[in-house]
């Protein structure tokens, strides 16, 4: 811990969740209508990973955080205007599709190549962070593939907490079924952690942090290597937004007693364990 950690956060952009998404066919496979124009946000779980990384780096002197992001350069530049003010990091940009229909294997290879190419990265201090799944592909497989590509033996999924000890070992809480946590201890870096929400709030914007980050962001975007990620071997047959509209019955101007009775009858009809 005293020598610091090298924390690499893998995270990309996803459409703003308030946007309506409509799938369309493209020559490269399925995509989203007006995908290039859709407002984007940092992938939420990856965002939590970034905030946890920055917090961890602050506690360990000599630590450094990189954000490795695979996305179209122009959209990434827009996103950095806000994300760069949240936490100190050095951007490593990879130019390619951030769409949800791409095959995770190609994405993992591009991310692993970008990590391995980071100058001065010390694998003995390396923690790779990311979200437990993206809000686009939502598969939860990419970081395990990166883990294997990097030859790292320890992986943790759905992490909400890491506590690093002075000797470099750390304890982790991973989400498991039923609202429980699996508690583990690890001998130390290198390791890969796929974060759930963690426990930190979103940091406030800091213009000072943003200015410092920007010194690296523009050069990183300029030298972003293209990555040929695509649908890979997936043969999509149908991609659709299923009709979900229900005929909603509005119950209003009815006494609370009557509403309560109806709810109790409805709840009671369930097979309560």
Subset of residues 65 to 94 that bind other proteins, contact rule: CB under 8 A: none
Comparing C-alpha atoms, which of 68, 12, 70, 74 is closest to residue 44?
Answer: 12
Helices 207-222 & 73-83 angle (0-180, nearest 10) = 170
Among 187, 211, 218, 225, binds other proteins (CB under 8 A): 187
One-character DSSP codes across 2-71 = TT--EEEEE--EEE-TTS---EEEETTEEEETTGGGS-EEE-HHHHHHHHHHHHHHHHSTT-EEEEEEEE
Min separation Cβ 250 and other proteins, Å: 5
Instruction: Give the CA count within 13 Å in the CB-facing half-sphere of 88.
Output: 9
| Residue span 101-140 as binding mask against other proteins, x where in contact by CB under 8 A, dash where not | x-xxx--x--------------------------xxxxxx
Q: Rule CB under 8 A: which of 214-253 touch other proteins? A: 232-242, 244-253
- Which of the stretches 64-72, 78-86, 119-127, 254-262 binds other proteins when contact is defined by CB under 8 A? 254-262
Q: Rule CB under 8 A: which of 165-184 touch other proteins? A: 171, 173-184
| Residues 6+ positions from 46 with CB-CB distance below 8 Å | 9, 10, 11, 12, 130, 131, 134, 195
Among 197, 210, 217, 227, binds other proteins (CB under 8 A): 197
Among 119, 201, 207, 208, binds other proteins (CB under 8 A): 201
Torsion of CA 206, 208, 211, 216, to 10 degrees: -90
Q: How crowded is residue 198: how many other Cβ atoms within 10 Å of its Cβ? A: 21
Quick one: 120 or 238, whose CB is closer to other proteins? 238
Whole-number Å distance between alpha carbons of 4 and 168: 9
Quick one: 228 or 250, whose CB is closer to other proteins? 250
Quick one: 208 or 244, whose CB is closer to other proteins? 244
Long-range interactions of 148-152: CB distance < 8 A, separation 24+: 149/108, 149/109, 149/112, 150/112, 150/115, 150/116, 150/123, 150/126, 150/190, 150/192, 152/126, 152/128, 152/190, 152/191, 152/192
Min separation Cβ 77 and other proteins, Å: 23
Among 11, 72, 96, 100, binds other proteins (CB under 8 A): 100
Quick one: 116 or 211, whose CB is closer to other proteins? 116
Quick one: 93 or 191, whose CB is closer to other proteins? 191
Per CB under 8 A, 203 contacts other proteins = no
Q: Rule CB under 8 A: which of 1-40 touch other proteins? A: 14-15, 17-18, 20-21, 23, 30
Among 44, 88, 203, 230, binds other proteins (CB under 8 A): 44
Q: Rule CB under 8 A: which of 141-170 touch other proteins? A: 141-142, 144-145, 147-149, 153-158, 160
Quick one: 55 or 221, whose CB is closer to other proteins? 55
Residues that bind other proteins (rule: CB under 8 A) add up to a total of: 96
């Amino acid at each position: 811990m005293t020598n610091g950690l090298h924390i690499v956060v893998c995270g990309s952009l996803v459409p703003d969740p308030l946007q309506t998404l409509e799938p369309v066919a493209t020559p490269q496979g399925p995509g989203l209508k007006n995908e290039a124009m859709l407002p984007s946000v940092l992938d939420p779980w990856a965002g939590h990973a970034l905030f946890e990384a920055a917090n961890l780096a602050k506690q360990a002197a000599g630590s450094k955080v990189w954000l490795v992001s695979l996305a179209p350069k122009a959209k990434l530049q827009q996103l950095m205007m806000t994300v760069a003010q949240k936490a100190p990091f050095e951007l490593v940009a990879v130019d390619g599709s951030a769409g949800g229909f791409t095959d995770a294997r190609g994405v993992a290879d591009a991310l692993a190549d970008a990590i391995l190419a980071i100058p001065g990265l010390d694998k003995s201090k390396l923690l790779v962070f990311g979200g437990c799944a993206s809000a686009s592909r939502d598969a939860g497989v990419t970081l395990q593939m990166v883990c294997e590509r990097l030859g790292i033996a320890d992986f943790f999924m759905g992490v909400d907490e890491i506590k690093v000890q002075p000797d470099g070992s750390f304890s982790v809480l991973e989400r498991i079924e039923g609202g429980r946590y699996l508690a583990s201890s690890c001998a130390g870096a290198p390791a890969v952690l796929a974060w759930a929400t963690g426990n930190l709030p979103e940091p406030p914007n800091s213009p000072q942090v943003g200015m410092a980050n920007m010194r690296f962001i523009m050069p990183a975007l300029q030298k972003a290597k293209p990555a040929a990620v695509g649908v890979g071997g997936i043969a999509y047959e149908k991609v659709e937004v299923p009709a979900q509209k229900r005929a909603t019955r509005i119950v209003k101007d009815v006494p609370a007693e009557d509403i309560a009775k109806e709810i109790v009858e409805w709840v009671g009809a369930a097979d309560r364990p």
